[in-house]
Structure 1
Amino acid sequence: MKNETTIFGLRAIIEAINSGEQIDKVFLQKGLRGDLFGELEQAIRKVKVNSSYVPVEKLNRLSKGNHQGAVAQISPVAFNDIEDLVMSVIESGKTPLFLLLDQLSDVRNFGAIVRTAECTGVSGIIIQKKGGAPINGDAIKTSAGAIFKIPICKVDHIKDAVFHMQASGIKVIAATEKADKHIFDVDLKKPCAIIMGSEGRGINPSVLKAVDEHAKLPILGEIESLNVSVACGAFLYEAVRQRS
């Protein structure tokens, strides 16, 4: 069965996946077995839908009906194709400014970043299909509706987006406290993409090796790092300042 934000029931979710429904994440009951459950797992793997195994209590909270061990969250937005988006931005004549989020997990951080990205004229946001925050009601609320105003793409791996940006003549800059250079010393006037990492782990080491530059914000206090949405805002507004 289905309501405005969720689909529940094994067969209903399988049919939704096979019909191309924009599904953000599927929650599966831990320890459940059976032919239909296995068919759903296979469908999830085939189209690489984000999924996780959770206790039945979480599924009971997510759905008011007989979920049969599975609940899917529907994405409120239609995702863009990264190749089409990059091409359209380049052809528009505007200087590209993309934002890549490497498995950001907090929904409210994600929503706040989308809001700031829209305010700073970001060309599009690229996220990974698995491991990131779900695009749900909390994300919409925190973004103040900006989530409907800015193009969002999903890729299998953030490195795919890095390589595509570089092949398109767009410099990729990683935000990391391990950098030797401050963001104020990086040229953001040219086409560029900024990568922000997850709250706990930061940017994946293999992604850090693939980018063009590393940059950080100066930290003058005793706490060693900023909230990721605050840091992202500082990076994006430095781009605005340089381009003004």
Structure 2
Amino acid sequence: MEKEHLIFGIRAIIEAIHAGKEIDKVFIQKDALGDLMKDLMKAMKANNVNFSYVPVEKLNRLTPNNHQGAVATIAPIKFHNLETLIETVMESGKMPLFLILDQISDARNFGAIIRTAECTGVDGIIVQKQGSAAVNGDTVKTSAGAVFNVPICKVEHIKDAIFHLQGSGIKTVAATEKTENTIYDISLNEPLAIIMGSEDRGINPSVLKIVDDKAKLPMFGTIASLNVSVACGAFLYETVRQRS
């Protein structure tokens, strides 16, 4: 991870949060205590900053400096407002295509998905603040720089984003094996948001209940699933095929 995308030290992170810096994630030492750490926790919760508890060894790997039990990663991009992005895309006159990632946590998978999304004309990628992969050096590298070309929105809850898209006339389709429909059975040639699930759990069941449609990829081998970035590519290129 590039050092220029790191902030270390509790007070420095608090100041960065108050200054409105695009903090992607804060790593907190599991057993860290003290009044300053309490202040950091308050600042993170008040500003909805994503954080997780980690062993001190991880912090030591991130920086050789005196981290005081906290290291933050700064996103190399500016995140977009979902409502504004939807309005902009709808007013552009083109057929909208959004991608929702339900807690995909691997930065390299995230980067690979962003790269394919850029190649297939995706208008925006929507991720949840908590539990999603950070936009870091690995993401930038794996995306081949596409992360700078595709708008990315961070939202509090995936379900709220889906409701907002549906309210704007955009069809939501979940990529899941829990359906009889394949991607060749449903229409993707309309205003669309495709939802991909996490590497290990797939799409949250509560999300599956509210989507407009579900589709799966036909599987003929003995292995029951594809890597999520590969599956996402198949969905996006079937969308391109139908729209062509």
TM-score, length-scaled by structure 1: 0.98
Whether 2:24 is the aligned partner of 1:20: answer no
User: Which amino acid in 1 is paired with 2:170?
Assistant: I
Aligned partner of 2:42 in structure 1 is: 42
Structure 2 residue runs without a partner (length 5+): none
Structural mapping, 1:54-133, within 5 Å: 54-133=54-133
Structure 1 residue runs without a partner (length 5+): none
Structural mapping, 1:190-205, within 5 Å: 190-205=190-205
Runs of 4+ more than 4 Å apart: none
Q: Percent identity?
A: 67
Computed over aligned residues only, the root mean square deviation of the Cα atoms, in angstroms, reads 1.0
- Quote the offset at 1:186 in angstroms: 1.1
Aligned partner of 1:158 in structure 2 is: 158
Tell me the distance in 2 between the aligned counterparts of 1:50 and 1:81.
17
SS in 2 for 1:190: coil
Tell me the distance in 2 between the aligned counterparts of 1:70 and 1:119.
37
Whether 2:234 is the aligned partner of 1:234: answer yes
User: Which amino acid in 1 is paired with 2:144?
Assistant: A
SS in 1 for 2:76: coil
Aligned partner of 2:167 in structure 1 is: 167
Tell me the distance in 2 between the aligned counterparts of 1:43 and 1:179.
43
SS in 1 for 2:52: strand
SS in 2 for 1:76: coil
Aligned partner of 2:149 in structure 1 is: 149
Shift in alpha-carbon separation, 1:222–1:3, aligned structure 2, 3 A: closer
Q: Deviations over 1:142-163 (max 9, x none)?
A: 0000000000000001111101
SS in 1 for 2:108: helix
- Quote the offset at 1:3 in angstroms: 5.0
- Quote the offset at 1:48 in angstroms: 1.3
User: Which amino acid in 2 is paired with 1:155?
Assistant: V
TM-score, length-scaled by structure 2: 0.98
Aligned length: 243
- Quote the offset at 1:64 in angstroms: 2.3
Q: Deviations over 1:73-125 (max 9, x none)?
A: 00000000000000000000010000000000111110000000000000100
